[in-house]
Amino acid sequence: MKTADTRNPGDPDSRTLVEQVIRVDQAGEFGAVRIYEGQLAALRWRGKSNSDAARKIAAMARSEREHNKTFDRLAAERRVRPTVLSPLWSLAGFALGAATALMGDKAAMACTVAIEETIDEHYAAQAAALGDEEAELRTTVEKFRAEEIEHRDTALASGAEQAPAYEALTRVIKTGSKLAIWLSTRI
């Protein structure tokens, strides 16, 4: 199968699809880094910089930084312009991270669950759309998807579902994440 083989009228061609994948994933990984930076800052403000939650968040942040570096490199190599929304994602990501961590450790973990469940679906769709000529990019997406699932599982094991208003909180974060994905793919 080739990338965009099964495209419908109005769907992007192969080159455009690959550009969209790289653009949105670069933006998403940058946003994830900013969320974790916001959470770590809030944990410091709360005097919990050495807590179990802070250690787990710091480990997830390191993983997201590596993902972001990979997509920065791919964007440069393939001459894919980044989304113009990066300054907004920087601010929004940090604010979301800080706000959830100020709500408590479990709310910070609930944020991770919401983000990673959205990204799991997003990366799965991308991997399915990328053809054999994009096997390396597909492998990268699949590898990062597996790591995002690990982050979700870590957050669930850390009591994310015990966060205040868990269902409402995760629903709002998922909706915002899906909107950010849609916008970053296009703008």
Express as a percent the part of the chain with pLDDT over 70.
94
CATH number for the domain including 179?
1.20.910
Residue 8 lies in a domain: no
| Sign of the torsion angle spanned by Cα atoms 127, 131, 136, 139 | positive
Band the pLDDT of 112: cuts 50, 70, 90: very high
Residue 113 lies in a domain: yes
Instruction: Say which range, 8-12, 41-45, 93-97, has the weakest mean pLDDT.
Output: 8-12
Distance CA(46)–CA(38), nearest Å, equals 12
What does the pLDDT look like over 44-76, one tens digit per residue? 999 999 999 999 999 999 999 999 999 999 999
Range of the domain at 105: 14-186
What does the block give as tokens for 120? 């799991």
Residue 139 lies in a domain: yes
Q: How many domains does the chain have?
A: 1
Residue 3 lies in a domain: no
- Asked if residues 85 and 27 have their Cβ atoms less than 8 Å apart, the reply is yes
For 52, counting Cβ atoms within 10 Å of its Cβ (0-12 exposed, 13-18 middle, 19+ buried), the class is: exposed
Task: Give the per-residue pLDDT at 131.
Answer: 87
Which among 59, 178, 184, 180 has a CA at the least distance from the CA of 109?
59
**Other Cβ atoms within 10 Å of 175 Cβ, number:** 12
Residue 74 lies in a domain: yes
Residue 9 lies in a domain: no
| Sign of the torsion angle spanned by Cα atoms 2, 16, 13, 78 | negative
